[in-house]
Structure 1
């Protein structure tokens, strides 16, 4: 066992693509998850400080911000964010208490609830979004090198091929 290059419980050094057990798409997916987790971690404190809400509540605000002038049903928000409806109810109540969202019954559906950003919520998002976007950009640049970027393109081979074809024609 003394001759072994790496202990059995430790990962081996990085090898060639042929040495890996995972196909390129799964490796890319794992890198994407790692990058998203790192970005989320960097955003948490900044979101709390600048907006006074949790990261999950921030995601609700962002989803609503992409629906200018319109409300979304709570069931649609839960589905879009992959959150349990019971947890979302608590988050919406917190956002409503902070006067960042309103909620109302859906006309003709006793059980349906729609949520919309308030003017205060829109104004606050507009004010803090540039700094939060910069944090995301910095985190991405710090997390993803050229090799990983190429690997992530493996998730969408058609897009990568179109990008290469487009750059060939532009030359």
Structure 2
């Protein structure tokens, strides 16, 4: 059981007999993960700001740049970026205004739309990607040696697979 007073008090107060409280080591790991995730995303977001981009913008640019013909159905893009269709629609509207993407109808599906990377979006992606990769390397990858990189991948890949499997479920 975690030795922090607040968690110990919660554990004593709970009526859920099946609650499996985290051990001190598990709690330490979980909190380190949360802190690293928040701090890393904060720093990477700061480094995208001079380009007029947020992390969500960059994620969309990456997805579209890697898609065949630099286009994706909006529903697939929402799934890939873990956004609701409504939120993605607002995001795409902002990115259209900036000239980074455009929407096109889907042949044979009057209701379907594609998000398409524009030439300006592709130019922006080619400009920003080296800076972003440099930040990922500086703030994350280069902090680990080869064994740590392999061990972290081995630890995280099954968790990602599990969570991907849960997407779309109620």
Q: Does the alignment reach a TM-score above 0.5? A: yes
Once the two structures are TM-superposed, the CA of residue 10 in structure 1 deviates from its matched residue by 7.7
Q: Are 1:8 and 2:5 matched, yes or no?
A: yes
Once the two structures are TM-superposed, the CA of residue 148 in structure 1 deviates from its matched residue by 6.2
Matches within 5 A, 1:10-159: 21=23, 34-50=35-51, 52-141=52-141, 149=149, 150=151, 152-156=153-157
Q: Tell me which moved more, 146-155 or 71-80.
A: 146-155
**Residues 151 and 43 of structure 1: is their aligned pair in 2 closer, same or farther, counting only changes over 3 Å?**
closer
What residue ranges of structure 1 are gaps of 5+ in the alignment?
A: 1-5, 12-19, 158-171
The structure that is helix-richer by fraction is: 2
Distance 2:107 2:101 in 1: 18
Choose between structure 1 and 2 for higher RCO, CA contacts under 8 A separated by at least 6 residues. Answer: 1
Q: Tell me which moved more, 105-114 or 39-48.
A: 39-48
The answer as to whether partners of 1:96 and 1:102 remain within 8 angstroms in 2 is yes
**Residues 89 and 74 of structure 1: is their aligned pair in 2 closer, same or farther, counting only changes over 3 Å?**
same
Structure of higher CA gyration radius:
1
**Residues 42 and 102 of structure 1: is their aligned pair in 2 closer, same or farther, counting only changes over 3 Å?**
same
**Residues 121 and 109 of structure 1: is their aligned pair in 2 closer, same or farther, counting only changes over 3 Å?**
same
Distance 1:8 1:142 in 2: 36
What residue ranges of structure 2 are gaps of 5+ in the alignment?
A: 9-21, 159-170
Instruction: Provide, for residues 88-132 of structure 1, a one-character-per-residue CA deviation record: whole Å limited to 9, x for no partner.
Output: 000000111111111111111111010111111111111121111
TM-score by length of 1: 0.67
TM-score by length of 2: 0.67
